[in-house]
A and B are shown apart, each in its own frame.
Chain A
Amino acid sequence: MAKTIIPIGPYHPLQEEPEFFILTVEGETVVDIDLRIGYNHRGIEKLCEQQTYDQVTFVVERVCGICSTSHPFAYTQAVEDILSIEAPPRAQYIRTIIAEGERLHSHLLWLGLAGHFLGYNTIFMWAWKLREEILDVMEILSGNRNNYAMFKVGGVLRDIKKEDIPTVQKKVDSIVPTLKKLRSAVMDDPVLHARTKGIGVLSREAAIDYCAVGPTARASGVARDIRKNSPYGVYDQVDWNMVVTENGDVFDKVLVRLGEMFESVKIITACLSQLPEGEIDCHITEVPPGEGIGHIEAPRGECFHYVRSDGTNRPERHKIRAPTFMNLPTFKKTVIGGKIPDTVITLAAIDPCYCCTERMTVQDLKGQKLYTGEDLIRLSQEKTDQIIAEMRR
């Protein structure tokens, strides 16, 4: 059968962000997928090297609007690793509360979008209505709806007021019944089962081979969660469970995220009740030469920051590895062999976040040759010619 190429993007109604997929299909079956990114590249790593340590916190916050806690969290951990200090306990609790609030709103956002892609606009509206409650909580705690600006090397910028805690607790508790309703809507609906079960399966072996992270890996039975494996914040001081499922299809990815939301509520409740008194900042003045890493579990998986310091007030090198960067290649396993209509939900299932991922990477598969800019342009033109020739065939 003749091959057809379906381009998706860069601006496409199904995507919030610009990215370009090239699907090669035979009839209804997808036989190959290719991906072009770069529509979101803003040169953040270079930008970070021009800013002072305090300013970088706000730049990395704007790596991604949805993970606007994860990146500063990982970055402050990396700098604290250079300094070999830990933030005061109260600051650690506040950081954990903010990080879990972000996980709640991010998973709700994904659940809504997934429902929308499957044609369940009710789920979209319900999930996003519920998300507003979380954003209210974040606004009470930090003063902002999205970019919280709570983090600082060595502590947090704002304290949680005592009189706010009952309101926050009440709001967080109030979302549990609706969450349960959403869960039963997903569990009981036969159409949803038919649409997501056995679709886009990522086996346990493939998840390990492709180094998948976060809910994408946990849905495939890989029990890997930075919060448990290498605890940071106060995740080792509160009681919570890692959610792991076995099948690795889209349905299981939904289940993992739904389960994690209940765990997040549990963590926030525990943190609010255990919140200790004390300092929230340890007043850093200088960063000595050295290098440090910080890794945390963002809503989409492991978020990794590396900072090298040369003793000045600016980082000498700052490297960011966002979770989607690791999860994107799993498309090769999940999408190929599926049908075109299932592609949309499979692509959405890893909760891709391209603005996080757009770190420039040039790699030769054989590791023998380095490509210059001209080479890349030539290769890209050849590829275009090839695609056109293939389409004419």
Chain B
Amino acid sequence: MRLLEKVFLKSLWVFHLATGSCNNCDIEILDCLTPRHDIERFGMLLTGSIKHADVLMVTGAVNRQCIPRIKRVYEQMPKPRLVVAIGECALSRGVFMQSYNCPMPLDHVIPVDVYIPGCPPRPEAIMAGLLKLIERRKENRAETGRENDSR
């Protein structure tokens, strides 16, 4: 298990899930891949299949049609799995709070590990959030001397 954790944090594969977002956060995630920011130098890779992913990046104000699909995608993820909520909409629904089609924020649907605020967050903020996620997992392991509970 310890080896798994070590390997896991070395190269996080990321799956991107848009749940009724305005595209801005999605574009900023893609921007992380491009030459100026280049998230791949941290071993992160955007993957096309949820079954290969370690991190689920969710953007957008979760709408009614997406809720069952988010749950299904989350259940298909192999363990250990991490969830990152990106942008104001995923955190608290932002300007769409009063909308009839956005009943709840993301963390009422699935458990969330890291929240990255911003409308949209800058690519630097997204990278900082992901790095913080790795750091915190490492620290937890050093402090408690045992593995994190991998949901």
B20 within 8 A of A: yes
A217 within 8 A of B: no
CB-nearest residue of chain A relative to B99? A43
| Contact with A47, one of B17, B22, B36, B96 (Cβ below 8 angstroms) | B96
A: interface residue count bin: 35 or more
Is there contact, CB below 8 Å, between B23 and A16?
A: yes
A88 within 8 A of B: no
B61 within 8 A of A: yes
B71 within 8 A of A: no
Is there contact, CB below 8 Å, between B21 and A145?
A: no
Q: Give chain B residues whose Cβ lies under 8 Å from the Cβ of A44.
A: 96, 99
Q: How far is the CB of B14 from chain A (nearest CB, A)?
A: 12
CA distance A13 to B51 in the complex (A): 12
Is there contact, CB below 8 Å, between A355 and B95?
A: no
A42 within 8 A of B: yes
Is there contact, CB below 8 Å, between B61 and A18?
A: no
A63 within 8 A of B: yes
Is there contact, CB below 8 Å, between B22 and A62?
A: yes
Give the interface segment out of A33-41, A181-189, A236-244: A33-41
Give the interface segment out of B3-11, B26-34, B140-148: B26-34
Q: Give chain A residues whose Cβ lies under 8 Å from the Cβ of B98.
A: 47, 50
Q: How far is the CB of A138 from chain B (nearest CB, A)?
A: 13
| Contact with B27, one of A11, A16, A18, A42 (Cβ below 8 angstroms) | A16
* CB-CB under 8 A for A43 and B18, given A11-B69, A13-B48: no
Q: Give chain B residues whose Cβ lies under 8 Å from the Cβ of A66.
A: 23-24, 27
Is there contact, CB below 8 Å, between A40 and B25?
A: no
A64 within 8 A of B: yes
Q: Mark A343-376, 1 if CB is under 8 A from B, else 0.
A: 0000000000101000000000000000000000
Give the interface segment out of A89-97, A124-132, A203-211: A124-132
Is there contact, CB below 8 Å, between A128 and B65?
A: no
Q: Mark A1-25, 1 if CB is under 8 A from B, else 0.
A: 0000000001111001110000000
CB-nearest residue of chain B relative to A66? B23
Q: Give chain B residues whose Cβ lies under 8 Å from the Cβ of A46.
A: 99-100
Q: Give chain B residues whose Cβ lies under 8 Å from the Cβ of A11.
A: 17, 50, 69, 73
Q: Which of A11, A59, A124 has the most CB of B within 10 A?
A: A11
The 9 closest A-B pairs by CB, nearest first: A65-B24, A13-B48, A128-B34, A65-B23, A43-B99, A65-B22, A43-B101, A129-B35, A62-B22
